[in-house]
């Protein structure tokens, strides 16, 4: 009995023992909206600044890691440990030269700020466009400068010092891995291949280390690059789909890497993925991030709303012939919607085919509606294009280009996109065949239009 009472007392006392709290305070002036955000794994905290730019926030952190402070103009990497008492002072209009840290954790963060100045001194496009020998020379200079900074810094956090030593190695490996991929683009060299003497990627490197992923941005980039490379290579694909990636995400030990990969694949919960329902449930079971779960669920519900038979999202847009036209105005007929823009090559390529379909179904129970997502400032250009190309059907201009509510409600990620609605304004298909696809005629004939 005494033993049980002792255990209960221990539990009660522990529950009232204050846990370690991270304090972040300081003064950040000249932000546009008077707020900053601290973001990281399982953390997204908005902080409202006082009128003079000062702030103070207590955080309960799950990890000692690299986080970000996002201002209206900048993003600052900061290291926060569970016992940090960090003070930050900066002017948002000239962050690099005004950023100062004091308090517990200041040494490590001042180091990170100086390191960022070194690594960003040579823009990525400049680093990757030069030839192989020049690139390796520049990379060595960057690594040497960072190493020298590391060696002369008297760190107060031994965990930071140990992880940063690995992070410097990741910095080098990241650039070595990225250069062969991006030299083609930045150097405008077709078919580029590195020489036989080019340093090989260290295949023994552990690419499933949760602690390093939380700490090192360089490691994060390296892990993601290699993950997507491996999925594409194994599946023989040029892209990575959720269907191909999920088995490899499941195999990872690092929960943080799983979360990031799922976050990067949010768009897989969409009409473009015929397996979206299964993908949603798989992703939901693989992440422990409540914000990510909420986003996945929002996408899932939005995609479910676009299934056949559901009421279509509505619009009320400027008509090229004058006035406005709303979806409600067109009820009573089938509606074939073309989402396009004058600047879109594939959209323009479909126009002759669309005109043929319009002619074939002239006088029948269907309206052809083309909604342009050209910017409102380009209205004259759109108007002239419609006239010059003698476009038929109903020609509308969306009210906020690609950000228009109708476009977003349909989860449109690229144009041209085609939609078919029934006479009641319900969805027949949110991704209809394009005019050049014979399946469109099969679909329309099947509906006995």
pLDDT for residue 17 is more than 90:
no
* 8 A C-beta contact, residue 149 and residue 111: yes
Cα–Cα distance, 144 to 139 (Å, whole number) = 9
| Alpha carbon distance 104, 260 (integer Å) | 29
Residue of 329, 334, 333, 368 whose CA lies nearest to 351: 368
pLDDT at 41 over 90: no
φ/ψ (deg, to 5) at 252:
-75, 145
- The answer to whether the CB of 417 falls within 8 A of the CB of 431 is yes
Cβ pair 300, 276 in contact under 8 A: yes
- For residue 235, what pLDDT is reported? 54
| Average pLDDT over every residue of 251-255 | 97
Confidence of residue 357 (pLDDT cuts 50, 70, 90): very high
**CA-based nearest residue to 20, from 86, 81, 88, 65:** 81
Judge if the upstream peptide bond of residue 269 is cis by omega within 30 degrees of 0: no
Q: Is the pLDDT of residue 241 over 90?
A: no
Residue 105 region, left (φ>0) first, then alpha (ψ -120 to 50), else beta? left
Chain centre to alpha carbon of residue 269: 14
pLDDT of residue 62: 86
Q: Based on C-alpha coordinates, what's the Rg of the chain?
A: 28
Q: Confidence band (pLDDT; 50, 70, 90) for 20? A: confident
Strand 417-421 relative to strand 427-429, pairing: antiparallel
- Looking at residue 2, its pLDDT comes to 45
63-102: burial string, b at 16+ Cβ within 10 Å, e else: bbbbbebbbeebebebbbbeebebbbbbebeebeeebebe
Going by C-alpha positions, the residue among 435, 420, 434 that lies closest to residue 353 is 435
User: 4 pLDDT band (50/70/90 cuts)?
Assistant: very low
Consecutive H or E run containing 439: helix 438-446
pLDDT of 77 > 50? The answer is yes
Instruction: Give the C-alpha separation, 411 to 426, whole Å.
Output: 16
Largest CA-CA distance found in the chain, in angstroms, rounded: 93
Q: How many other CB atoms sit within 10 Å of the CB of residue 182? A: 16
Q: Of 73-77, 146-150, 302-306, which gets the smallest average pLDDT?
A: 73-77
Range list of H helices, 153-216: 158-186, 210-215
Whether the full predicted model's pTM is greater than 0.85, yes or no, is: no
Q: What's the confidence (pLDDT) of residue 16?
A: 41
* Residue 302 confidence (pLDDT): 94
Q: How confident is the model at residue 248 (pLDDT cuts 50, 70, 90)?
A: very high
Q: How confident is the model at residue 236 (pLDDT cuts 50, 70, 90)?
A: low
Q: What is the mean pLDDT of the chain?
A: 92
Cβ–Cβ < 8 Å for 264, 224: yes
* 236 conformational bin, left if phi > 0, alpha if psi -120 to 50, beta if neither: left
> Looking at beta carbons, which pairs linking 407-412 to residues 24 or more positions away fall under 8 Å?
407/339, 407/371, 407/373, 409/302, 409/305, 409/313, 410/271, 410/306, 410/313, 410/339, 411/270, 411/271, 411/272, 411/299, 411/302, 411/303, 411/306, 412/339
Read off the pLDDT of each residue in 119-137 and give the average, rounded to a whole number.
95
Instruction: In whole angstroms, give the CA distance from residue 50 to residue 56.
Output: 10
Instruction: Name which of 106-115, 125-134, 188-197, 372-381 the model is least confident about.
Output: 188-197
Q: Does residue 14 carry a pLDDT above 50?
A: no
List the structure tokens of 224. Answer: 């993601």
Q: Judge contact between 426 and 309, C-beta under 8 A.
A: yes
Return d(Cα 93, Cα 71) in angstroms, integer. 10
Which tens digit of pLDDT belongs to each residue from 267-325?
899 998 889 999 999 999 999 999 999 999 999 999 999 999 999 999 999 999 999 99
Phi and psi at 39, nearest 5°, equal: -125, 145
At 409, is the pLDDT very low, low, confident or very high (cuts 50, 70, 90)? very high
Identify the structural domains of the chain with CATH numbers, from first to last.
20-121 (2.60.40), 136-304 (no CATH), 316-446 (3.40.30.10)
pLDDT at 97 (0 to 100)? 84
Q: Do residues 335 and 369 touch, judged by C-beta distance below 8 A? A: yes
- The per-residue pLDDT for 361 is 97
């Amino acid at each position: 009995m005494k033993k049980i009472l002792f255990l209960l007392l221990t539990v009660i006392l522990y529950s009232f023992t204050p846990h370690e709290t991270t304090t972040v305070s300081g003064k950040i002036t000249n932000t546009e909206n008077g707020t900053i955000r601290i973001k990281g794994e399982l953390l997204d905290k908005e902080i409202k600044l006082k009128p003079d730019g000062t702030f103070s926030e207590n955080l309960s952190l799950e990890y000692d890691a690299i986080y970000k402070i996002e201002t209206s103009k900048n993003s600052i990497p900061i290291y926060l440990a569970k016992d940090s008492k960090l003070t930050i002072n900066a002017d948002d209009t000239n962050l690099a030269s005004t950023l100062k840290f004091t308090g517990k954790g200041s040494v490590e963060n001042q180091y990170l700020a100086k390191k960022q100045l070194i690594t960003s001194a040579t823009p990525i496009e400049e680093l990757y466009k030069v030839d192989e020998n020049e690139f390796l020379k520049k990379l060595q200079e960057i690594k040497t400068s960072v190493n020298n900074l590391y060696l002369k810094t008297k760190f107060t956090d031994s965990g930071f010092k140990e992880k940063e030593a690995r992070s410097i190695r990741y910095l080098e490996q990241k650039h070595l891995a990225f250069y062969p991929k991006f030299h083609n683009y930045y150097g405008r060299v077709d078919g580029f291949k590195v020489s036989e003497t080019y340093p090989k990627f260290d295949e023994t490197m552990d690419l499933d280390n949760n602690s390093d992923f939380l700490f090192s941005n360089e490691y994060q980039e390296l892990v993601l690059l290699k993950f997507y490379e491996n999925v594409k290579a194994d599946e023989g694909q040029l892209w990575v789909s959720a269907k191909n990636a999920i088995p490899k995400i499941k195999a990872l030990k690092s929960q943080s890497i799983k979360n990031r990969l799922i976050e990067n694949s949010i768009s897989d919960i969409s009409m473009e993925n015929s397996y979206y329902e299964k993908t949603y449930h798989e992703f939901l079971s693989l992440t422990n991030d409540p914000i990510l779960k909420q986003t996945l669920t929002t996408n899932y519900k939005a995609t479910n709303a676009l299934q056949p038979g559901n009421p279509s999202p509505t619009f009320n847009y400027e008509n090229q012939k004058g006035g406005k036209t709303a979806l409600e105005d067109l009820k009573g007929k089938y509606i074939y919607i073309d989402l396009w823009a004058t600047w879109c090559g594939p959209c323009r390529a479909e126009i002759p085919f669309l005109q043929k379909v319009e002619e074939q179904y002239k006088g029948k129970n269907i309206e052809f509606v083309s909604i342009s997502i050209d910017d409102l400032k380009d209205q004259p250009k759109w108007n002239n294009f419609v006239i010059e190309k003698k476009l038929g059907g109903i020609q509308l201009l969306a009210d906020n280009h690609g950000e228009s509510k109708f476009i977003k409600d349909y989860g449109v990620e690229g144009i041209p996109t085609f939609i078919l609605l029934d006479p009641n304004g319900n969805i027949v298909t949110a991704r209809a065949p394009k005019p050049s696809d014979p399946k469109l005629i099969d679909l329309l004939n099947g509906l006995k239009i």
